Structure 1
Amino acid sequence: MLETIGINPAELAASETLLKLLISTALLITVVVVVRALSARYIRRNVASMELRRRWLVHSRNGLLLFMLLGLIIIWGEELRTLALSVVAIAVAFVVATKELILCVTGSILKAGAGSFNIGDRIQVKDFRGDVIDQSLLATTILEVGPGKLTHQRTGRMIVIPNALFVAEPVINESYTHDYVLHVFTIPFKRTANWQAAQQALLASANEHCASYLAEAKRYLKRLNEYRGLDAPSVEPRITLQMPSAEEVHLVVRIPVLTDRRSSIEQSILSEVFSQQEFSGAKEKALEQEGSAPTG
């Protein structure tokens, strides 16, 4: 009867199937959008810590995005399988054209599986160094810290790193201990300078600045290393010597500090020590004074 009025039953069934798929897709997207809005509202109202709030917002967004992708795959799975049988050649070309995007997704899976870093950690990849503020399936966003690898102040610039970089490059996580870290900075001296006095002054200043939280840092790092199955390192401030050349001596200062106070403690120690005494050339002056002193 349908054929007599010019309607093909097969086309009608296909139209009904397509309509059901579109309705299911619209319902899925609506549910995800509503849940996203409600969860973001709940997190902003009930999570006091700014860092924890940002972390939960990113995780909830990524989780809902993954849920939506899985839902779309389930809804359109049969149609996708049917379509895949006829587009093998196109798929190969598509893979070649989207190689970078595939590498980004692979890098995202790799860093998530390895637990390389979390929101708020300070990382370095190649020449990019900063604090992680966002992660997505394709890219990781950091606030740049620098300049160079030895300073700990933000430059005010934001860097978006494609996750493909994590497939081929090692990631340095400077915040893997989270609350407390062992912070290291180097001070160069000439061999003729009075670096021994500088070594004593730096050690005394480091002990003074770290005294208020040293016991807590010891407990925290010991507990963390026991959890990871590692030997607990010595936490007390220490200064070691390096001699990169015959004319130079480097004093390597290592101190335990709160993660967000690395730069301030380092600058406080340097300002205190070098504002009170001049160390360069002290040995030369002493030798000159001894040579000019009257004999006999």
Structure 2
Amino acid sequence: MLEQFGAAIQQVNLSTPVLRLFGTTLALLLFVLVSRALLSKLIRTGIQAPELRRKWLVQTRNGLILLFLLGLVLIWGQELRTLALSIVAIAVAFVVATKELILCFIGSLVKGGARSFNIGDRIQVKDFRGDVIDQNLLATTIMEVGPGKLTHQRTGRATVIPNSLFVSEPVINESFTQDYVLHVFTVPFKRDDNWQLAQQVLLDCARAQCEPYLESARKYMRRLGDRRGLEVPVVDPRVSLQVPLAGEIHLVVRFPCRQGQRSAIEQAILLDAFGSHDFSGKRKEGDEEGEEPSAVIE
């Protein structure tokens, strides 16, 4: 009887380290969950801007996940080292089977190290284009913008992009300059159309739309150039010419605006220009007697 009791005590003593590890892991999990709840409540009550609040919520969640994973490694590190020699073959098979997941982790490191984009930026990866609303270790979620590459309105669809794409594909960040961006759109004409008048009208409409904030945009671009060591771009609206085909003239309109106003200002310029003018057909004699605009208007 005493021998059986002693054997039971010995078994309990042998299992105590394992129980201690499980207890530590449970305590770490509770700490992470409580911290996330407190920080989320603090962020929701303390930050009023929706974009900034969403950014801090995502970063806090990802930071706590990394903290939890690091804690697991520290807690179970000794136990894992004792099993290392016996699971080499299993590890090789695991790497082959989970290659895509590993590439997602690597892609997360690549985009984080390169600072490719942040929450709220408008990006394009392959044929996927939209505003970043969430990102984690495996995937990045964007609100689709389109259709096509020249439209700036949300379609209402969310796209989940695996982070493995960021390892092999370039990322186009349309919000690189943050507060103010230089927006470009193209208006095609035939050679027989009155594109000279259209060039001047589009420029006047662009200047009228940008006038309220043009000086503020100039100052912001100068500060951005000084901070990042870049050449300061010309901010003033301009209309330049392109000749993609022998019978076509494309007017390329460029103007500064805030990130969320690209589509609205573009539509306002087009409505002002085409709502009050007819650019079809050759120029009339009365137009030819007037002042001819230059080929490139800046």
TM (norm. structure 1) is: 0.94
- Aligned pairs for 1:251-262 (under 5 A) are 251-262=251-262
Q: Give, in angstroms, the shift of residue 280 of structure 1.
A: 1.9
1:220-250 Cα shifts (integer Å, max 9, x gaps)? 0110111110110110000111100100110
CA distance in 2, matches of 1:134, 1:261: 22
Q: Give, in angstroms, the shift of residue 137 of structure 1.
A: 0.4
User: 1:291 maps to which residue?
Assistant: none
Q: Give, in angstroms, the shift of residue 12 of structure 1.
A: 3.4
User: 2:61 maps to which residue?
Assistant: 61
RMSD of Structure 2 on Structure 1 (CA): 1.7
Contact map agreement 1:108 1:137 (CA 8 A) in 2: yes
CA distance in 1, matches of 2:280, 2:88: 72
- Aligned pairs for 1:133-282 (under 5 A) are 133-282=133-282
CA distance in 2, matches of 1:13, 1:235: 75
CA distance in 1, matches of 2:286, 2:3: 113
CA distance in 1, matches of 2:175, 2:51: 14
Instruction: Pick closer, same or farther for the CA change 1:266–1:30 going to 2, 3 Å.
Output: same
Q: Give, in angstroms, the shift of residue 282 of structure 1.
A: 3.3
CA distance in 1, matches of 2:233, 2:209: 20
**Structure 2: segments with no counterpart, 5+ residues:** 288-298
Identity %, equivalent residues: 62
CA distance in 2, matches of 1:253, 1:104: 39
Q: Give, in angstroms, the shift of residue 89 of structure 1.
A: 0.2
2:95 is the counterpart of 1:95: yes
Contact map agreement 1:120 1:133 (CA 8 A) in 2: yes
Q: 1:63 is matched by which residue type in structure 2?
A: G
- Aligned pairs for 1:41-120 (under 5 A) are 41-120=41-120
Contact map agreement 1:199 1:251 (CA 8 A) in 2: yes
User: 1:293 maps to which residue?
Assistant: none
CA distance in 2, matches of 1:285, 1:153: 41
SS in 1 for 2:254: strand
CA distance in 1, matches of 2:2, 2:48: 64
Q: Give, in angstroms, the shift of residue 147 of structure 1.
A: 0.2
SS in 1 for 2:212: coil
1:104-152 Cα shifts (integer Å, max 9, x gaps)? 0000000000000000000000000000000000000000000000000
How many residue pairs get matched? Answer: 287
CA distance in 2, matches of 1:8, 1:96: 43
**Structure 1: segments with no counterpart, 5+ residues:** 288-296
Q: 2:117 is matched by which residue type in structure 1?
A: F
